[in-house]
Chains A and B, each alone.
Chain A
């Protein structure tokens, strides 16, 4: 709960969320996380700590991974925001499901979105995903269930599946 950020006068915002244009009115410091979860009812993005330490609220803003609990909505006016509900995550989602990358599932949306950012980065760099690269990329996303082994395996499987496409 960070209701103190909601005190100021609302401003008008336009966001592209998962490809759809959303016009809304919100206090400028309202967290992007709350805008997504409460104002747009996209609850796939999770709050684990509210202060940028756990990675559960990771979303893509103009292609960059951001912690939506630390982003005031006024900073993303006009931006392209992608969440776990976006439809370009299927190969990663399938890999996590098939290879045991999701247990309790609460860190999973953030992990999958961060994996999207990592695989996109690999593609831009024309490099292959590696286990060490995946480790670095996911270092800000905490999971308490899996010991990460199967998450890292899921990332590599997803990379392979996307390359094969």
Chain B
């Protein structure tokens, strides 16, 4: 029975947000706190020889921390131990942290940062990913025999279609910059950090390593967080270690809040990519073979690159049936600022390439792009590139039918009309995509995410999870799930603040896993608690709960995630069930291109999405609209470029994101094909909308201008070059 699931509960933190009472990290006033800042490298590659200080600089006015002052390992704990907390000698990227400074006030800190000059011997830097000799990770996915398929092609009369696609980096641009406050070890030796972050247990792990302390000696508390989108997955660990090291040196709390310039300059962004596709297609449009080569720029350190590459490769063949598939992926070292997690996590890059390839096939074979996708789309019972047999909750046909019905794209003469030559050209473009929910492969088995529910003394139920509310609606989602699982009112439920001292590690708030994975644990925990408390359901919950507490019943239930039994993954062969389930979606972008300026206006954006079950439909729509706009922004106006290893867009005046005036009207269709192992049938939705926007807009540009867009963002400057190249051919 669902009363709140599928309906509406108020965001528990919402009232505070709309009245300005929410406390974000910059709002937290801590008496006696010092301010922290970072001395950074001004070259992309080199050797640190030491520091020079301005002659009038009073070193006693501040506290300084260098690599040699780190009590534990000088390692930013994540996947591979290659990134130092502070560079000791080798410098791998512009803006690399070299020394930390704390001062009692902002003016002293500013003066100190200006007075400290690192002495660096610069060395030649590497920025071209294609010529990088060092891969952080290589992945091969092999299904069937691509070589044999291409060898047979000529006799079979198949057509080979080749493409090369590029995607540039993208800035998450959460509106609240990175920041945290660290307290020095208390009398129990506990180091505490509060901050703007997605994954408190990641930060705790980083502090443990930095200080060489046990888990219970590092406490991390999430403050209200002003957006993340992946940007606050791994990077807050860097800020937290820095602040905590300074707090130790000062013996007082230290606050580090990045200003926007610093945030844009040094925090990880989306991996740039080059994807080469070679498709073999029967003349009537059936995909015969796909050979895909994925290259991503990882930047200076490994960070999360292996996992980003993994998700990118697994999604590289798209949601299409293809017997012979080969995907080769590499993410390589360069001297760029490390790239990292951003909503979609590798999939938007490869989705762009495969969707553009589908359009190229459609145009070459003169098949309507909707028909081509409909013909080749995966359905229940089909196998993906990793050999995963799709069993449950496969909404491919449903989303395609819905997008056709809403947008009329199936009847649109795509690329059939002679393009306008003056005024404005209109275009319609389609994308079709899927996105695996939860950690890849055996990731969830390793994470062992846990959730706890417990009765408070007043009989209310507390939900304790390490999952964070970062705007997407975790609090309201958990509230609805818990209320319906316990069959009680939301007023009888409290969502605990993510504080590693009190909540279990639910795994990180990433990978579209909070609702599906953590939410499924929550339903089980609530069902167990409800059964334990018992009593007649006619009686109010708190009455029953208090009676149970008086009887000294065990009022706490912890549930750990267990993958569904039929999910199997072979990490060596990159084979099997990459994800327990996929979300499915189709987008149609309707655009107008000004034929003089080549500016693009996205007028309408249709999206039809199979979410399993919308726990809170308004929140899901909010995720889909917001994610789609990020994708639309990336498609044509969010430019991120580098020069000598430095991001050229160093402020919001140049690092632009869509405003209300750059935003289409959205038309969202929610489709619910329930997933048996998700809470109330739900599956992940957070990242999915990031995948389809760029290829849909690119497809619409092709429709409007007749040029095959191969790189995003498709800025007017780039389109002009493409058009000139076409006209001189």
**Interface of A toward B, CB cutoff 8 Å:** 1, 3-4, 6-7, 37, 41-51, 53-54, 56, 83-85, 89, 93-94, 96-109, 112, 134-136, 138-152
Q: Which of B165-193 contact A (CB under 8 A)?
A: 172-177
Decide if A105 touches B622 in the complex (CB within 8 Å): no
Q: What separation, in Å, do the CA atoms of A46 and B24 have in the docked complex? A: 9
Instruction: Say which residue of A43, A48, A50 sits within 8 Å of B176 (CB atoms).
Output: A48
Chain B: minimal CB distance from A108 (Å): 5
- B66 interface hit (Cβ, 8 Å): no
Q: A46-B226, A106-B227, A147-B628 are in contact. Are A134 and B652 (CB under 8 A)?
A: no
Q: A84-B19, A97-B14, A100-B621 are in contact. Are A50 and B629 (CB under 8 A)?
A: no
Decide if B659 touches A109 in the complex (CB within 8 Å): no
Q: Which of B70-78, B102-110, B694-702 is the contact stretch?
A: B102-110
Instruction: Say which residue of B15, B24, B618, B621 sits within 8 Å of A106 (CB atoms).
Output: B24
Q: Supply 12 A–B pairs (Cβ within 8 Å), ascending by A.
A: A46-B24, A89-B19, A100-B618, A102-B18, A103-B227, A104-B225, A104-B227, A109-B20, A135-B663, A145-B626, A147-B622, A151-B660
Contacts of A106 in B (CB 8 A): 24, 174-176, 226-227
**Interface of B toward A, CB cutoff 8 Å:** 10-11, 13-24, 26-27, 29, 35, 105-107, 109-110, 172-177, 224-229, 257, 259-260, 470-473, 618-619, 621-622, 625-630, 651-653, 657-661, 663, 665-666
Decide if B622 touches A100 in the complex (CB within 8 Å): yes
Decide if B471 touches A135 in the complex (CB within 8 Å): no
Q: What separation, in Å, do the CA atoms of A150 and B620 have in the docked complex? A: 12
Q: What separation, in Å, do the CA atoms of A6 and B659 have in the docked complex? A: 32
Q: What separation, in Å, do the CA atoms of A37 and B660 have in the docked complex? A: 27
Contacts of A84 in B (CB 8 A): 19-20
Decide if B665 touches A149 in the complex (CB within 8 Å): yes
Contacts of A145 in B (CB 8 A): 227, 471-472, 622, 626
Q: What separation, in Å, do the CA atoms of A7 and B108 have in the docked complex? A: 11
Decide if A1 touches B106 in the complex (CB within 8 Å): yes
Q: What separation, in Å, do the CA atoms of A95 and B704 have in the docked complex? A: 38
Decide if A108 touches B18 in the complex (CB within 8 Å): yes
Decide if A140 touches B659 in the complex (CB within 8 Å): yes
Instruction: Say which residue of B17, B29, B110 sits within 8 Å of A102 (CB atoms).
Output: B17
Q: A102-B14, A142-B175, A150-B621 are in contact. Are A3 and B260 (CB under 8 A)?
A: no
Decide if A144 touches B227 in the complex (CB within 8 Å): yes
Contacts of A102 in B (CB 8 A): 11, 14, 17-18
Which of A105, A108, A139: most chain B CB closer than 10 A? A105
Chain A: minimal CB distance from B225 (Å): 7
For B110, the closest partner residue in chain A by CB is: A3
Contacts of B10 in A (CB 8 A): 97-98
Decide if A96 touches B18 in the complex (CB within 8 Å): yes
Q: What separation, in Å, do the CA atoms of A152 and B659 have in the docked complex? A: 12
Q: What separation, in Å, do the CA atoms of A109 and B13 have in the docked complex? A: 14
16 additional contacts, CB 8 Å, given A105-B16, A142-B659?
A1-B35, A3-B105, A49-B652, A54-B652, A97-B14, A104-B176, A106-B176, A108-B18, A135-B663, A140-B659, A141-B660, A142-B657, A145-B472, A147-B625, A147-B666, A149-B663
Contacts of A142 in B (CB 8 A): 173, 175, 652, 657, 659
Decide if A104 touches B470 in the complex (CB within 8 Å): yes
Q: A104-B227, A105-B226 are in contact. Are A47 and B26 (CB under 8 A)?
A: yes
Q: What separation, in Å, do the CA atoms of A19 and B724 have in the docked complex? A: 61
For B605, the closest partner residue in chain A by CB is: A147
Which of B19, B106, B109: most chain A CB closer than 10 A? B19
Q: What separation, in Å, do the CA atoms of A14 and B177 have in the docked complex? A: 31
